[in-house]
Amino acid sequence: MMRHKMNQPGKSLGVSWSLAVKFGKAFGLHVTVFSTSISKKEEALNLLGADKFVVSSDEQQMMTVGVLVLVGSPSEAKSSPGNLVRGMRTVSGSATGGTKDIQEMLDFCAAHGIHPEIEVIPIQYANEALERL
């Protein structure tokens, strides 16, 4: 987020990753969660503290001009260059940092009380837990 100047209060951030919501809120951003499933809405807004929720299959809501920063490599790209140009959209990438970046992130997490959501389940319910992801 810092490499893309997303650590400035008042900016907007769209995410699909629960820890990214927490980072965005700690930076003072307006955070929108994108998901393919409406079933994640309550968790995104009430548990994680997102400001807005968008179902990513809703083409009208996905028309907004913006920057998509990929963390890692998606297995498939579903957009053409023409759609990016006509929609004034930008795609960028962000690789995982080295030891210094990771230490800065851990320090930031400690200072802002950011931690992952953890659910402990009995092993016999592992398949059900995977279905919920």
Which CATH number among 3.90.1280.10, 3.30.300.30, 3.40.50.920, 3.40.50.720 corresponds to the domain 2-71+78-96? 3.40.50.720
H-state helical runs in 1-133: 18-26, 41-42, 81-86, 99-112, 126-132
Q: State the DSSP code for 51.
A: S
Q: Which of 2-16, 27-41, 46-60 is least confident?
A: 2-16
To the nearest 10 degrees (0 to 180), the angle between helices 18-26 and 99-112 is: 70
Q: Per-residue pLDDT tens for 61-110?
A: 666 666 666 666 666 766 667 766 666 667 766 666 788 888 988 999 99
Cα 26 to Cα 23, 30, 57, 59, 120, distances in angstroms:
5, 10, 28, 29, 26
Q: Per-residue pLDDT tens for 9-30?
A: 666 666 667 888 888 889 888 8
Q: Where are the domains of the chain?
A: 2-71+78-96
With a threshold of 0.95, does the pTM exceed it? Answer: no
How far apart, in whole angstroms, are the C-alpha atoms of residue 40 and residue 89?
Answer: 26
Count Cβ atoms below 10 Å from residue 22 Cβ, excluding itself: 22
